[in-house]
A and B are shown apart, each in its own frame.
Chain A
Amino acid sequence: MNTVLVTIISFALIGSIAGVILFLIAKRFRVVEDPRIDAVQEVLPGANCGGCGYPGCRGFAESCVKADSLSDLFCPVGGNSVMEQVAKILGKEVVQKEPQIAVVRCSGSPEHRQKTAFYDGAMTCEIASALFAGDTGCPYGCLGLGDCVKACTFDAIHINPETQLPEVIDDKCTACGACVTACPKGIIELRKRNKKDRKIYVSCVNTDKGAVTKRACDVGCIGCKACVKVCAYDAITVENFLAYIDPIKCKLCRKCVEVCPTHSILEINFPPRKTADAAAGKEVSEVTTT
């Protein structure tokens, strides 16, 4: 009985003394944190993907509170709506940004791009690309080992087992840019997200001369400039035998897709063309429905 009493009393004493010390320490060393940081973090998506360039959502929230203007800060996952909420909490101006989407600029599936070697080393693109140019004739193209898939926190990119190329799931992609950084070949690009996720882009990054590209891959851009001539909006430029369509200038008219002799310009998420259109166009839209 005595032991029980002594135990209870001594523990109560230790507890209350510790409580007082803790209270004093908490008062003395209190960290004053802006409550707005929590408020901002609350509205952020919380994926901690790092797409904004800061270490996680907390880091981004802190930077938003500290910064004088929000012009350099953008949460690619939350997009404009989240940034508006952040601006509201902080009472700052928000800069509207075009929503973006990732596109994979390589169409070199095995049927179009012959394998010239076999690779049985470590199955990551980073290691493979540090060792050699790739197991096909094209040293620029996709290695298909899926570093982009591993980098994606949103499960928005997958390797299609048939084409052995990564494919972006439009609804899930938040344009955080993790796959862009992960790809050692620099194939993935963030482009403007159009209505109904419609996309027109040059699905190739090969900067070799036309003949060399053609030998390596059937669907590579050979830099023939046929697309440049047909574009009414001045949106296409050819540099180093590679065409590039400016996503801002492009009006999605699809004329370039029709004229491309190697079918390296893709149109995705468009309704099927009218029957009057060239057979070439039909063929392309079949290939590219994702």
Chain B
Amino acid sequence: MKTFPKGGVHPPENKISAAVPIEMLPIPETVIIHLSQHLGAPAQPVVEKGEQVKVGQLIAKSAGFVSAPIHSPVSGTIEKIESVPDTSGYKKPAIIIKVEGDEWIDTIDRSPDLIKETILSKEEIIARISEMGIVGLGGATFPSHVKMMIPTGKKAEILIINGVECEPYLTSDHRLMLERSEELLVGISLVMKALGVSRAVIGIERNKPDAIAQLTSLSGQYAGIRVEPLKVKYPQGGEKQLIKAITGREVPSGKLPVDVGAVVHNVGTIVAVYEAVMKNKPLFERVVTVTGKLLERPANYLVRIGTPIEFLVKAAGGMPEDTGKVINGGPMMGKALLSLAVPVSKGTSGIVLLSQSAARRKPVMNCIRCRRCSSVCPMGLEPYLLQALSEQARWDEVEANRVMDCIECGSCSFICPASRPLVDFIRTGKANVNRIIRERSK
């Protein structure tokens, strides 16, 4: 059974909502769409207050190469364009739309038929992905078209599809693989064409045997696509870990996956690519897992971008009394929310409700140099050292100890018997080193 060799942890999986089919959530009364839904430059609004919009209409255009356009997820009137808190609580510019009906633009093909063939060329596929605002739906929200344009002098050899979903609790990718298998496989063929590669591997952890079986049997009809079952270990879904597990190649420090000939996309992204290219449908809805042990009805919802998280929690049975934290994303890498009034964005993969006792961090104790953080680090770093150096603001040493290789997976903080805030400090170290590197290159 393949896996990545270095480090890794085994948090309790808690995939409570794995058997719950994806359910379409009703549309809320108002939606909030932040202009910064993706990594890179925030999109620029192309609509004004009072304007009528339809579902799928462009409301903000891409503001550069590494940026993505945003399309209206609802039909209605633009109520206002102003700064409202995002998931971090800081105010960010957003478009607020009052919902009226559900009228889609004509160009979107809403029929359920599966389209397998396309006459579009490689360039046209990439252009379509860019126009439709597709970004990485695994959570990093990196604009997908950028990943498809291979820099000159480099060559993509293999497309890796990330169906690992190693974060505890989350099940949205699992459900997509089961319920949208054919679309996923057509989408993979499209991306293979865009990249000019002949091989694609879908990496799935063994805790999803139904998805593995179904995709293995269906993939026979598609040339070059195969399924690779992987050992269950966190953070298998990390880009570099997945490449290592499947191809055996190691992405060197400071390099990109394409340097070893690999391109990785999440299953959610691929389904969105299928819809964008074959159905002309921009990215304005996504699957979000709403889960938690205390929750009445843990579920996987297909929701419009901009729906308040409150709305999702209510649909899943309302907030349990003993809730300690509501996490945006999974429990390992996600961030606690300050308010439930904030909207779902393109990067929201799940909402996890934790009880008071599960949410609280344990009191911090002194480091006893047990070295467990170093042994679980999938990047081979020394988290205890990076944490100490970062706390003392010794940035040059932080940089020399390869802080920029950290993928912030949280394995070190998870395993630390002294519950030290390792990732917190390493993240600050990264930010400071990043700033120093930028200043140096000026």
Name A residues whose Cβ lies closer than 8 Å to a Cβ of B: 116-117, 120-122, 124, 126-127, 130-134, 139
Interface CB pairs A-B, < 8 A, 13: A116-B339, A120-B361, A122-B424, A124-B428, A127-B428, A130-B427, A130-B428, A131-B335, A132-B89, A132-B90, A132-B338, A133-B88, A139-B89
A151 (CB) vs chain B CBs: closest residue: B393
> Are B89 and A126 in contact, CB atoms less than 8 angstroms apart?
no
Query: What is the bound-complex CA distance between A209 and B88, given in angstroms?
Result: 20
List 10 tightest A-B contacts by C-beta distance, closest first.
Answer: A133-B89, A122-B421, A122-B424, A120-B361, A133-B90, A127-B424, A132-B89, A132-B88, A117-B338, A127-B428
Query: Considering residues A122, A130, A139, which has the most beta carbons from chain B within 10 angstroms of its beta carbon?
Result: A122
Interface residue count for B (Cβ, 8 Å)? 17
B65-97 CB mask vs A (1 if < 8 Å, else 0) is 000000000000000000001001111000000
Known contacts A132-B89, A139-B89; 13 additional CB pairs below 8 A are A116-B339, A117-B338, A121-B421, A127-B424, A127-B425, A127-B428, A130-B427, A130-B428, A131-B88, A132-B338, A133-B88, A133-B90, A139-B90
Q: Nearest Cβ distance between residue A151 and chain B, in whole angstroms?
A: 10
Nearest-CB residue, chain B, relative to A120: B361
Complex-state Cα separation, A116 to B425, whole angstroms: 24
Interface centre among B85, B336, B338, B425 (most CB of A within 10 A): B338
Q: Could you tell me the distance between the alpha carbons of A19 and B428 in the complex, rounded to whole angstroms?
A: 51
Taking the closest CB of chain A, its distance from the CB of B239, in whole angstroms, is: 23
Q: For A132, list chain B residues within 8 Å (CB).
A: 88-90, 335-336, 338
A117 vs B425: C-alpha distance when bound (angstroms): 21
Which of chain A's residues has its CB closest to B431's CB? A130
Scan residues 134-150 of chain B and give those whose CB is less than 8 A from a CB of chain A: none
Counting CB contacts under 8 A, is B360 at the interface? yes
Which residues of chain B in 85-119 are interfacial with respect to chain A, using CB atoms and an 8 Å cutoff?
Answer: 85, 88-91
Q: A120 and B90: CB pair below 8 A?
A: no
Convert B328-357 into 0s and 1s, putting 1 for each residue whose CB lies closer than 8 angstroms to a CB of A: 000000011011000000000000000000
A116 to B89 CA separation, bound complex (whole angstroms): 11
In the assembled complex, how far is the CB of residue A186 from the closest CB belonging to chain B, in whole angstroms?
Answer: 13
Instruction: Please name all residues of chain B whose beta carbon is closer than 8 Å to the beta carbon of A121 when the two chains form the complex.
Output: 361, 421, 424
A124 contacts across to B, CB distance below 8 A: 428
CB-based contact B361/A127 at 8 Å: no
**B88 neighbours in A (Cβ, 8 Å):** 131-133
Cα A120 to Cα B354 in complex, Å, equals: 15
* A6 CA / B427 CA spacing, docked (Å): 64
| Best-buried of B88, B89, B421, B425 by chain A (most CB within 10 Å) | B89
A133 contact from B338, B361, B431, Cβ within 8 A = B338
B227 to chain A, nearest CB (A): 37
Are the C-beta atoms of B360 and A120 separated by less than 8 Å? yes
Q: How far is the CA of A130 from the CA of B360 in the complex (A)?
A: 20
Minimum CB–CB distance from A134 to chain B (whole Å) comes to 7
Give complex CA distance A131, B427 in Å.
10
Which of these, B90, B335, B360, B428, contacts A126 with CB under 8 Å? B428
Q: CA A116 – CA B341 in complex, angstroms?
A: 13
Interface residues of B in 355-406 (CB under 8 A from A): 360-361
* Cα distance A126–B421 in the bound complex, in angstroms: 13
B387-442 interface with A by 8 A CB criterion: 421, 424-425, 427-428, 431
Min Cβ gap A148→B in Å is: 14
A122-B424, A130-B428 are contacts. A139–B339 as well, Cβ < 8 Å?
no
A251 to B293, CA, bound (A): 62
Residues of chain A lying within 8 A (CB to CB) of residue B91: 139
In the complex, the chain A residue whose C-beta lies closest to that of B324 is: A118
A132 to B336, CA, bound (A): 9
Flag if B89 contacts A134 (CB, 8 Å).
yes
Q: Residues of B contacting A117 with CB < 8 Å?
A: 336, 338
Query: For residue A127, which residues in chain B have a CB less than 8 angstroms away from its CB?
Result: 421, 424-425, 427-428
A44 to B216, CA, bound (A): 76
Docked Cα-Cα span, A132 to B88, in Å, equals: 4
Interchain CA distance A134-B89 in the complex, whole Å? 8
Give min CB distance, B307 to chain A, whole Å: 21
**Complex Cα spacing A116 to B90, Å:** 14
Distance (whole angstroms) from the CB of A40 to the closest CB of chain B: 28
Residues from chain A with a CB closer than 8 A to the CB of B335 are: 131-132
Cα distance A260–B339 in the bound complex, in angstroms: 31
